[in-house]
Amino acid sequence: MSAYRELHRRFDRHYLLRSSADLLEWDAQAVMPEGGGDLRAAQLGTLRLLAHEAISAPDMPELLAAAEAAPPADAWERANVAAMRRAWVHAAAVPADLVEARARVTSSCELAWRTARREDDFASLLPQLEEVVNLTRRVGEAKASVMGLSVYDALADEYEPGAREEALAPLFARLARELPPLVDAIVERQARAAPAPPLVGPFSIERQAALGRHVAERMGFDFTRGRLDVSVHPFCGGAAEDVRMTTRYDEDDFLSSVLGVVHETGHALYEMGLPRAWARQPVGHVPGMGLHESQSLLMEMQAARTPELLGYLAGAAATHLGVTLPRESLERHALRVARSLVRVDADEATYPLHVVVRFTLERALVAGDLSVKDLPGAFRDAMERVVGVRPPTDREGCLQDVHWPTGAFGYFPSYTIGAIAAAQLFAAAVAAHPEIPAELAEGDFTSLRGFAHEHVHQHGSRYDTNGVLERATGCGLDADVLIAHLRRRYLG
């Protein structure tokens, strides 16, 4: 067997184990009874460890070198070899016991977080979160020493290949500088307009679920290859042929629920559109989480907040919820900008400021400059300083996000990379297909989804995020486009 075939076989097994673990994580978040937590943590520890072992045997360097020395003729296979090396570097850098411990501890910390968040009880989470931070730091140190990166960069590279503090820090500094005056101007302008009439709830959860399902179907979500369920923290997981997205419903606010479904469906369409032939190989997956987030934001922030799609949603709400709301009313709610407490509910103008808070604090946590016990206060201070509001509780403060309890340090920048990429991609899509707004007014996503599929989905990770953006939009990641979009939409 050639070195490449042998690697292919190992990565196939790696994927089968990893996707099994992903399914067990979906189950834990969407349907598992609380008593299953200890067992689930142990199962995940074992599966993550075996997935790790599948691609970190001692002969992997030789196999990779041999595959690289005699590169396959096929361009996809060559790209796959590069993606294999990347995956191997991240896997092999971390000792097996640490992989297993990290999976076990983060799984049980995630459950503890659910309770702590519900009960606004940071103290109950502290011991487990400390353990997660310590283990994550050890993982980062192990990777950093192999990859020749800072600990934070080594962690972030797992989610965003090539992302480096030295580029992210100035990007976020710029956003922290330029967005607040922009937000002030928008808030002032919106304050002059008449207040939006309230959305008249309660809206039955069942009807909202039917509306969400309808919208997901219109967007192209294939329910024979996926599900939509409920979880505390909405996410999109599973595998390309079995995508599991979740949402949450609020009886008083159907709009945020339906926009949440639009967001997760954007992720889901990416997963469903990845190259089927490569589904179990590294090149068949996304090149980075920023590009993944760009697909959810392309739908949720760019498309769904156009007057055209909001008009369509007003009609769909009338049909499914029996409420008559003028498009303008939905627009007021959907485009309202405010310095608010919860990141996932934030508008697109203040959202990057929430990310600045996380980016700043997670670097300090990983570096040991901020101890976990001091996180609640540091979070409140940073929110006040950067976003301009002070969380009155930890529930609305440092307990709001699932990322740190699950060890996902270095993930947050991907949200802003995604927001920028989404602005670039939407502009390019509309330039290439001027019929997009008219289609959206009919709830028709054909051209937009087609553009995303052609330029993003179908490539897997044959190109990196910048490569995808350059091919699709003519330039790499460019924050100017996001800022120009915000000015045009909110102040233009």
Nearer to a copy of itself, 110 or 293 (CB): 110
Q: Is 95 exposed, middle or buried (0-12, 13-18, 19+ CB in 10 A)?
A: middle
CA angle (262, 263, 265) in 5-degree steps = 65
Task: Say whether residue 242 binds a copy of itself (CB under 8 A).
Answer: yes
Instruction: Give the contact letters, 342-381, x = binds to a copy of itself (CB under 8 A), - = no.
Output: ----------------------------------------
Q: Which of 131, 264, 331, 362 is catalytic?
A: 264
Name, in order, each residue with C-beta under 8 angstroms of 208's C-beta and a sequence gap of 6 or more.
Answer: 249, 254, 257, 258, 320, 321
Candidate residues 78, 213, 214, 225; the one interacting with a copy of itself per rule CB under 8 A:
225
How many angstroms separate the CA atoms of 473 and 492, rounded? 23
64-69 long-range CB contacts below 8 Å, 24 or more apart? 64/3, 64/7, 64/88, 66/3, 67/2, 67/3, 67/4, 67/7
Contacts with a copy of itself: how many residues (CB under 8 A)? Answer: 35
Contact set for a copy of itself, span 75-134 (CB under 8 A): none
Question: Shortest Cβ distance from residue 65 to a copy of itself (Å)?
Answer: 27
Instruction: Give me the least distance between CB of 35 and a copy of itself, in Å please.
Output: 3
Question: Reading across the β-sheet that carries 236-239, which strands appear in turn?
Answer: 226-230, 242-247, 236-239
| Minimum CB–partner distance for residue 453 and a copy of itself (Å) | 17
Helices 205-219 and 307-321 pack at an angle, to 10 degrees, of 140
Near a copy of itself by CB under 8 A, which window of 1-9, 33-41, 183-191, 366-374? 33-41
Looking at the Cβ atoms of 36 and 180, the one nearer to a copy of itself is 36
222 or 374: whose CB is closer to a copy of itself? 222
Query: In sequence order, what are the residues at sequence separation of 6 or more whose Cβ sits closer than 8 angstroms to the Cβ of residue 313?
Result: 215, 255, 258, 304, 330
- Quick check: is 293 catalytic? no
Which parts of 6-122 are beta strand (E)?
A: none
Q: How far is the CB of 317 from a copy of itself (least distance, A)?
A: 24
Stretch that binds a copy of itself, among 123-131, 177-185, 237-245, 370-378 (CB under 8 A): 237-245
Residue 228: DSSP 8-state: E
Select from 2, 5, 38, 322 the one that contacts a copy of itself (CB under 8 A): 38
CA distance 266 to 216: 9
CA angle 171, 175, 181 (to 5 degrees): 160
Name the residue nearer to a copy of itself (CB basis): 239 or 303.
Answer: 239
Bridge partner list, 244 = 227, 237
Q: How many CB atoms lie within 10 A of CB 337?
A: 21
Binding a copy of itself (rule: CB under 8 A), the pick from 1, 34, 193, 492 is 34
Nearest CB to a copy of itself, comparing residues 58 and 224: 224
Structure token pair of residue 66: 């041999």
State which of residues 222, 251, 374, 480 lies at the interface with a copy of itself (CB under 8 A): 222
Strands 236-239 and 226-230: unpaired
- Measured CA to CA in angstroms, residue 384 lies from 93, 97, 183, 354, 377 at distances of 38, 40, 15, 11, 11
Binding marks (x or -) toward a copy of itself, 47..86, rule CB under 8 A?
Answer: x--x------------------------------------
Residues 140, 212, 220, 226: which binds a copy of itself (CB under 8 A)? 226
Nearer to a copy of itself, 33 or 58 (CB): 33
Considering only residues 279-318, where is the footprint of a copy of itself by CB under 8 A? 279-280
Instruction: Kindly tell me which of 46 and 466 has the beta carbon lying closer to a copy of itself.
Output: 46
Q: Which residues bind a copy of itself (CB under 8 A)?
A: 13, 16-17, 19-20, 23-24, 27, 31-36, 38-40, 42-43, 45-47, 50, 222-227, 238-239, 241-242, 279-280
Catalytic residue numbers read 264
